[in-house]
A and B are shown apart, each in its own frame.
Chain A
């Protein structure tokens, strides 16, 4: 079974530039999550989708971050414009609907904002 795929793996941008990250979840997983992990901290949920609807985006900085999940499969997370404090690893995870426990994570995208 293929795991969660993410791209790119690394990205370096200047502040005020835009960036987008892509995630392809495990086939059949209806729930998709984007997390931000700042160095030395645990992953923090940014947004959660169930199919292509948003379940929770309470911690998403909506003035600069946006995310979509078209057709309930792939998802894109965008930052526009980026700030220095956005430097982090952005993790995508997926899980089966109705399963409260196991989330499967992708390898993450390490973003550096200069």
Chain B
């Protein structure tokens, strides 16, 4: 049962344009969401998070939007840079104390074209 889905395995975007990565979830108990970025031969690196009490969180060029009714979140990168080329994982969890398990999506490979 894939509770967190990233339906686009890959995405190519021109440098300077906006990159939009999407993620859907099925478990309505999830109340916090994160995006991780992964370069080859490295572990995932935390990028940005959002809790279910918000619908938007912004950090520099990165903005995450949450639509709870649609069980959908997206990551916007503006402007896209060559260093953004990586695999991006969406993850979701429940913020109960002591239950910090994350469920990851399958990832989207983003390629920024110079």
Query: Which of A's residues lie within 8 Å of B, judged by CB?
Result: 4, 31, 40-45, 48, 50, 55-56, 91, 93, 95, 98-108
Contacts and interface: CB of A to CB of B under 8 A. Distances in A.
17 contacts: A40-B106, A42-B104, A50-B98, A55-B99, A91-B43, A98-B98, A99-B100, A101-B32, A101-B34, A101-B46, A101-B95, A103-B46, A103-B102, A105-B43, A105-B44, A105-B45, A108-B43
A56 to B, nearest CB: 6
Given A56-B101, A103-B46, A42 B95 contact: no
A33 B4 CA distance: 19
Contact of B89 (A43, A55, A101, A108): A43
Interface size grouping (class) on chain B: 20 to 34
B70 interface: no
A96 B43 CA distance: 18
B101 A91 contact: no
Interface in B64-90: 89
B49 A42 contact: no
B30 to A, nearest CB: 11
A97 to B, nearest CB: 8
Nearest to A45: B101
Contact of A98 (B32, B93, B97): B97
